[in-house]
Amino acid sequence: MAQVNCPRCAAPIELDSGNKFAKCSYCGSMIFFDRTGAGFYYAIPFKLSQNDAVGTFRRWAGGSTKAKDLDRLASITSVKKKYFPVYLFRRDVNGREEVYVKPAGSTILPGLHQLKVPGGDLKIFDGNFDTNGAELVKPDIEMTHYLDNLPGKGKEQALVYFPIWTIDYTFNGASYQVVVDASSSEVFATSFPTRSSAAYLLVAVAGFFAFLVLGFVATVYLVPALILMALTVVAVFFISLTVARRL
């Protein structure tokens, strides 16, 4: 049995070895422990409602790199409100303060190492903190896992519950997921349906070779070659149109 003091009210807290997370029975603060000591939990409030998150997703899906009409045709299968745990490290690196954010949950969510923790928005996460129905994802990566590889000297470390919306959707029979940062509105995705340019390229290359061949034919049979060229132009036009409609 180890004993540490609550970093907020200094009350003694007993904990079993192996138990990394505890609640102060005096002030209700959520506290975590490791060999570096005790630290606070913080949480960042949700700035985006569920509707905002879906709207942000639709705008993202309408971007030029996404499959045509993804914004309209993506069929949303679930929207979940979650608090995802990250470690926040403030380090002194050669006299400058650097902040590092690392995932504390092993669920691999795309882009979560790029999260930016907004300065003034950290609220102490204690018994009074209202999660507003967000699911708390359990931290299962230890802070020490990162500490050895961070530059500089530690100034502060904390566990921060980061507000996210996860949106699952299907498109053309395949399933995808995006994460919407509910504090900065950024969208993270490892994979998404992309606009295919390969089909256009194929049509263009085929058209080019058809003209090349017809050019040689024209040196011998001019009129039939010109007729075939005209037909090729019409064919390339309609094939391109079909490709544009379908992709």
CA–CA gap between residue 157 and residue 139 (Å, rounded): 15
CA 101, 103, 108, 109: dihedral to nearest 10 degrees?
A: -50
Q: Is 27 in the site for Zn ion (CB under 5 A)?
A: yes
Q: Please spell the DSSP secondary structure of 80-132, one letter per residue.
A: EEEEEEEEEEEEEETTEEEEEEEESS-S--TTGGG----GGG-EE-BTT---T
Residue number, 61 or 122, with CB nearest to Zn ion: 122
Residue number, 7 or 207, with CB nearest to Zn ion: 7
CB 113 within 8 A of CB 99: no
Q: Is 14 in the site for Zn ion (CB under 5 A)?
A: no
Size of the site for Zn ion (CB under 5 A): 8
Nearest by Cα to 123 from 194, 40, 240, 226: 40
Structure tokens at 79: 């929207």
Residue number, 9 or 227, with CB nearest to Zn ion: 9
Helix, strand, or coil (residue 156)? strand
Nearest distance from C-beta of residue 122 to Zn ion, angstroms = 18
Nearest distance from C-beta of residue 12 to Zn ion, angstroms = 9
Per CB under 5 A, which of residues 109..168 are in contact with Zn ion? none
Taking CB under 5 A as the binding criterion, the range among 28-36, 77-85, 121-129, 221-229 that sits at the site for Zn ion is 28-36
Residue number, 24 or 189, with CB nearest to Zn ion: 24
Q: Is 54 in the site for Zn ion (CB under 5 A)?
A: no
Contact residues toward Zn ion (CB under 5 A) are 6, 8-9, 11, 24, 26-27, 29
